[in-house]
Amino acid sequence: MELDTNDLKILGAVKKGLTTFGGIKNVMNLKKDELVKILDILDESEMIRSTTDTGLLGQKKLIIHLTDKGEQKIQEYLEILRKKWRDMLDLAIAGERDQLDQMIKDNPFMVNMMVFFKVTDLPTLSRLNLRFLLEGKHLCYKCKKELTRFTQRFSVSDVRKFQFKLPRGMTTRDDLCADCFNKLTKH
Ligand SMILES: [Zn+2]
């Protein structure tokens, strides 16, 4: 079975020791029913299993465990990430920016997952000038044009300040380029 980014991230969260529903929900940017659905899929494919524990006040608590199969899946995925990271380092050193861009276009969350699984980290990415590879880091939320250090960018608070209509799904972590900002309409 092919797992997607969220599935793998949840497996990773369980491996990191987040074993309760609430704990996993806190690190995942997911709605409750979405998380339930993924946990069901992971349970059915025997990547995780769950037990119930009784809390101090007698309340029942769901505890999620990683199975051997789940552990193996993570190890396989880590191998892939480590290999890709070595490839990316080679490309970065060789100055093959186009190929790096293509890798991220093919798999937008790859570097984010590398950071999540500690294959690399933010200081390393900064040092190598590779932070732009993080999904959504420096891209305009609407047109996906790259926002460099020198381009003007507009945040959710700017949109609110001008009483423009907030683009659907835009969050405080996103920015807009000047073109897209100017095209926004008033409420
Ligand atoms: Zn834009």
132, 145 contact by CB (below 8 A): no
How many angstroms does the Cα of residue 27 sit away from the middle of ligand 1? 28
CATH code 1.10.10.10 region(s) in the chain: 5-66
140 C-alpha to ligand 1 centroid (Å): 5
CATH 1.10.10.10 describes domain 5-66: yes
Find the 139 Cα to ligand 1 centroid distance in Å: 8
H-state helical runs in the chain: 5-15, 21-27, 32-44, 68-94, 97-106, 110-116, 122-127, 156-161, 178-183
State pLDDT tens for residues 146-180: 787 778 999 999 999 999 999 987 888 788 999 99
Contact predicate 177/143, CB 8 Å: yes
pTM over 0.85: no
Q: Give per-residue pLDDT as tens, 19-54.
A: 999 889 888 878 899 999 999 999 999 999 998 888
